[in-house]
């Protein structure tokens, strides 16, 4: 029995029924969902005792403040393992995936979830920061000069140098010194800096936000978390939505502090710059050095954020401005931003004439056999019609078999298209075959094409091979 199991048995007085390891992203920490009789808990394993203590103590303090965070239920003697409440599997990141995959076209419901989350942030920062023993924070108790330089060097060595861009370290250092000094002037008093406030660290329970993974938090200015959330690289929030979120945040913030508009805007812009440099450093390290593709996929989005930010020059940091202008116009990042949309090609065909070949060079895709569906082609009345004609459509839908058949394919296609979009693939192929490639296969190919074109921001081409019809939807 491993230590996670032992801790579960000790706390619940029962043996675990099942243990599932949960996927991780940027952290080296490991998380497990442990099932018992009518109970499930989250078990955490962290090799850094100091980091574990930070989470445990901050969570305890937040709970006493009535904040929406998981309760730590049990801790091992060596403090390498602990159990906490299980909030389920729905993160804010997953809940707003549709809008994100549509290039930032978020639904009203998704916008409400995002707004609800950002409106709670000041409570975490101000109520959570009040009376917190910051000495438990890991790796340091507050946002200071050392933290700033850690992150600026993170950007310089783990990202900027990997691009091959030539720059003067001395001139860049001089501007970094000015930036660090300006950042340190923004102290907001005894406030909690979450440090990694983003959609993946927000759980939804009955559509209410709960906050996790704050073990890297410390005392610091509130602007950092706002910049981290609103300018999260892959979120792709529109300018209109960003303004709405900032407004919602400021409304909640007004319960704790009043900041003049000009001061607020200038300070926030400063932290957007700093946070963007920090995340590029993280993406460089996790992606280029640790070979984790998830982080590399975020690089073009962060570069785009940076590109938009420096349109209004940072005149106080002229050399940094110059370097960032060069960085954001490098071909390697321009190409990334101009990536092709996923193109889905959907064929109808006759098995008598063979399965369609894949001219994309990817070796093909899904092939579905429609011959189990009732065949209108056996009746003379339908011989001059295709699956595009009203008469055939009515016949197939009245029978109902085609509807059940396609419902399963829609589910499969949804999962595959989403995954292909996430992985930045550019070609996907579906093919529907029947006896003559005239009725059933045509109907199915056409309907899948219409379904995908309506749902996703992708290119959909339908090719009815035996009918000589090609269309882009």
- The DSSP string of 343-397 is EEEEEEEEGGG-PPP-TTSS---EEEE-TTS--GGGSGGGTT--TTSHHHHHHHH
For residue 418, being part of any structural domain is answered with yes
209/123 Cα distance (integer angstroms): 12
Where a domain ends, among 84, 105, 138? 84
For residue 466, being part of any structural domain is answered with yes
For residue 336, being part of any structural domain is answered with no
Task: Please give the structure tokens belonging to residue 39.
Answer: 């109970």
State residue 337's pLDDT score.
46
Q: Output the 3-class SS for 93-113.
A: HHHCHHHHHCCCCCCHHHHHH
Q: Is 7:43 a contact under the CB 8 Å cutoff?
A: yes
**Residues 184, 204 share a domain:** yes
DSSP state, residue 91 = B
DSSP state, residue 70 = P
State residue 286's pLDDT score.
85
Can you give the residue range of the structural domain that contains 56?
Answer: 3-84
pTM: 0.73
Task: Please give the structure tokens belonging to residue 400.
Answer: 């109902």
Q: Is 258 helix (H, G, I), strand (E, B) or coil?
A: coil
Phi, psi of 299 (to 5 degrees): -55, -50
472/449 Cα distance (integer angstroms): 9
**Residues 195, 98 share a domain:** yes
State residue 1's pLDDT score.
55
For residue 338, being part of any structural domain is answered with no
First to last CA, the chain: 56
**Residues 235, 114 share a domain:** yes
For residue 207, being part of any structural domain is answered with yes
Output the domain CATH number for residue 27: 3.30.200.20
State residue 25's pLDDT score.
60
pLDDT in tens, the chain (473 residues): 589 999 999 999 999 999 999 987 656 789 999 999 999 999 999 989 999 999 999 999 999 999 999 999 999 999 999 999 999 999 999 999 888 877 788 999 999 999 999 999 999 999 999 999 999 999 999 999 999 999 999 999 999 999 999 999 999 999 999 999 999 999 878 999 999 999 999 999 999 999 999 999 999 999 999 999 999 988 989 999 999 999 999 999 999 999 999 999 999 999 999 999 999 999 998 887 777 767 777 888 899 999 999 999 999 999 999 999 999 999 877 654 455 678 999 999 999 999 998 877 666 789 999 999 999 999 999 999 999 999 999 999 999 899 999 999 999 999 999 888 877 678 899 999 999 999 999 999 999 999 999 999 899 999 999 999 999 98
For residue 369, being part of any structural domain is answered with yes
**Residues 240, 274 share a domain:** yes
**Residues 219, 193 share a domain:** yes
Query: What residues are paired with 254 via a beta bridge?
Result: none
How deeply is 440 buried, as exposed, middle or buried, from its count of CB atoms within 10 A (0-12, 13-18, 19+)?
buried
Where a domain ends, among 281, 304, 331? 331
State the pairing for strand pair 192-193/81-84: unpaired
Question: Rounded to whole angstroms, what are the CA distances from 132 to 50, 126, 136, 217, 253?
Answer: 16, 10, 9, 11, 19
State the pairing for strand pair 459-464/469-472: antiparallel
**Residues 142, 238 share a domain:** yes
For residue 337, being part of any structural domain is answered with no
For the chain, give the longest Cα–Cα distance: 84
**Residues 170, 237 share a domain:** yes
Could you tell me which of 418, 413, 416, 417 has the C-alpha nearest to residue 432? Answer: 413
Where a domain ends, among 276, 310, 331? 331
State residue 335's pLDDT score.
53
Cis check for the bond before 472: say yes or no (omega within 30 of 0). Answer: no
**Residues 429, 327 share a domain:** no
Query: What residues are paired with 434 via a beta bridge?
Result: 350
State residue 245's pLDDT score.
98
Q: State CA 277 to chain mean position distance.
A: 19
**Residues 432, 308 share a domain:** no
**Residues 400, 263 share a domain:** no
**Residues 411, 319 share a domain:** no
Output the domain CATH number for residue 191: 3.90.1200.10
Number of domains in the chain: 3
**Residues 313, 236 share a domain:** yes
For residue 57, being part of any structural domain is answered with yes
């Amino acid at each position: 029995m491993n230590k996670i199991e032992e801790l579960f048995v000790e706390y619940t007085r029962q043996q675990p029924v099942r243990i599932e390891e949960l996927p991780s992203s940027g952290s080296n920490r490991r998380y497990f969902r442990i099932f018992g009789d009518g109970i499930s808990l989250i078990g955490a394993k962290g090799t850094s005792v100091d980091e574990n203590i930070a989470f445990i103590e901050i969570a305890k303090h937040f709970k006493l403040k009535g904040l929406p965070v998981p309760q730590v239920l049990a801790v091992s003697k060596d403090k390498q393992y602990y159990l906490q409440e299980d909030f389920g599997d729905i993160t804010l990141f997953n809940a707003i995936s549709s809008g994100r995959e549509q290039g930032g076209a978020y639904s009203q419901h998704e916008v409400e979830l995002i707004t609800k989350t950002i409106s709670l942030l000041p409570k975490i920062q101000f109520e959570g920061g009040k009376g917190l023993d910051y000495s438990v924070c890991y790796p340091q108790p507050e946002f200071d000069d050392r933290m700033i330089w850690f992150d600026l060097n993170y950007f310089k060595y783990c990202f900027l140098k990997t691009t091959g861009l030539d720059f003067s370290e001395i001139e860049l250092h001089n501007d970094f010194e000015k930036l660090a000094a300006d950042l340190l002037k923004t102290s907001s008093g005894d406030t909690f800096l979450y440090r990694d406030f983003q959609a993946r660290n927000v759980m939804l329970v009955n559509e209410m936000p709960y906050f996790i993974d704050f073990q890297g938090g410390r005392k610091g200015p509130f602007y950092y978390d706002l910049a981290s959330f609103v300018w999260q690289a892959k979120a792709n929030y529109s300018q209109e939505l960003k303004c709405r979120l900032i407004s919602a945040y400021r409304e909640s913030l007004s319960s704790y502090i009043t900041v003049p508009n000009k001061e607020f805007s200038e300070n926030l812009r400063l932290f957007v710059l700093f946070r963007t440099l920090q995340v590029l450093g993280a993406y460089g390290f996790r992606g280029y050095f640790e070979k984790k593709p998830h982080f590399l996929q975020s690089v073009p989005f962060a570069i785009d954020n940076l590109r938009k930010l420096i349109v209004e020059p940072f005149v106080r940091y002229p050399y940094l401005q110059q370097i960032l202008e060069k960085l954001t116009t490098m071909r390697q990042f321009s190409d990334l931003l101009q990536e092709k949309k996923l193109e889905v090609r959907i064929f109808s065909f006759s098995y008598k004439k063979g399965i369609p070949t894949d001219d994309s060079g990817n070796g093909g895709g899904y092939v579905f056999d429609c011959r189990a569906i009732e065949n209108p082609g056996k009746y003379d009345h339908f011989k001059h019609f295709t699956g595009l004609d009203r008469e055939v459509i009515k016949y197939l839908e009245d029978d109902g078999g085609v509807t059940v058949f396609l419902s399963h394919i829609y589910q499969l296609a949804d999962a595959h298209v989403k995954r292909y979009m996430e992985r930045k693939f550019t070609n996907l192929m579906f093919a529907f075959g029947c006896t003559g490639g005239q009725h059933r296969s045509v109907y199915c190919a056409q309907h899948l094409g219409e379904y995908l074109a309506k749902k996703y921001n992708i290119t959909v081409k339908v090719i009815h091979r035996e009918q000589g019809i090609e269309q882009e939807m």
